[in-house]
Amino acid sequence: MLASAAALMPAAATARPKDGDTCSRPAGRADAPPALEGVCDYLDTREGVVQVAIYDAEAGRSARLATGDDKQLTASIVKVDILGRWLRRFQERDVSIPGDIPYSVGYLLQRMIDNSDNAAATALFYFGGGCDAVTRFNELIPLKATDVACETPKYYGWGNTETTAADQVGLMRVLAYGDPQGVLGRDARRYGLGLMENVEPDQRFGITCGPWGSSCTKPDYAPPDPDVTVALKNGWKTLPSCTQPIEQCPWQVNSTGWVDGRGRDYVLTVLTTRDPVGTGGLYGFDYGIETIQGVSKIVWDNLGP
């Protein structure tokens, strides 16, 4: 969270098509991979700029699509990165996770992920070594297209970290499935995913839609399905290039995480930027949420057994 939540736009609302941007695929592919079939057609009806990346563990395949922009801002999904850095730190100390994590740090980690608490994130970012420490963690994975923002120690510059959807899927793959280098071991991953499986209800939007049913409206968005695990982190903020009041600024709205159940097992990241100006109704924060949830429902249906 980098701004207060607003209401989700009605599912029946119709957006104006974007001007100029078209949905592109990785070089050499003229068709959409099965997991993302139909996503480009959907995004052609949406405003803003969108990146989608997925790793389908059932098929062992990755895929990505975009309507523009090589990099976007993380907003609060970078909190997964900060979480990973702290888990790696305790793992390197060869202590029990979570048993030997100090209460104060555990409390801040829980607040940062489950409540998207910015003060908790700033404390963990700063006292955990800041930009340099998170960058070193990212190099282990590696996240080659992610540039950690370090504006000043007293400002939560972490939210202006630049990344790609593909990099964020790479981070989530390490949390969900591990990696040959052992960047995060089993106990660290279980603890991190456990936090992400318990975000507060009013932040359950995004890639939960589809996995937890097609009714994804406020205030609690998609109701959890006991047969489907979703480990989730969302992020949202107005673009820092806009110096006007919030209601006059375009938005960045993102969702990333892991989905497992009902014959599916995948990690998905959807980044949206330049979402229309405004804070509610048909625009801004709500508009970005609807775009993400539209993509998520298509992916969930595509991957059905």
- Non-local (6+) Cβ contacts of 124 within 8 A are 82, 86, 105, 108, 109, 112
Residue 69: predicted pLDDT: 85
Give the model confidence (pLDDT) of 154-181 as tens digits: 566 899 999 999 999 999 999 999 999 9
Query: CA–CA separation, 284 vs 216, rounded Å?
Result: 17
Q: Is domain 34-302 classified as CATH 3.40.710.10?
A: yes
Q: If pLDDT is split at 50, 70 and 90, which confidence band does 1 have? A: low
Q: Does the pLDDT of residue 6 top 50, yes or no?
A: no
Cβ(91)–Cβ(17) under 8 Å? Answer: no
Cβ(172)–Cβ(164) under 8 Å? Answer: no
Residue 45: predicted pLDDT: 94
Give the mean pLDDT of 33-50.
95
pTM for the full model?
A: 0.91
Q: Does the pLDDT of residue 91 top 60, yes or no?
A: yes
* Nearest C-alpha neighbor of 250 from the set 289, 205, 285: 285
* Nearest C-alpha neighbor of 275 from the set 62, 27, 8: 8
Give the model confidence (pLDDT) of 98-128 as tens digits: 999 999 999 999 999 999 999 999 999 999 9
Mean pLDDT, the chain, rounded, equals 90
Q: Does the pLDDT of residue 205 top 60, yes or no?
A: yes
Through-space distance between the first and last CA atoms of the chain, rounded to whole angstroms: 34
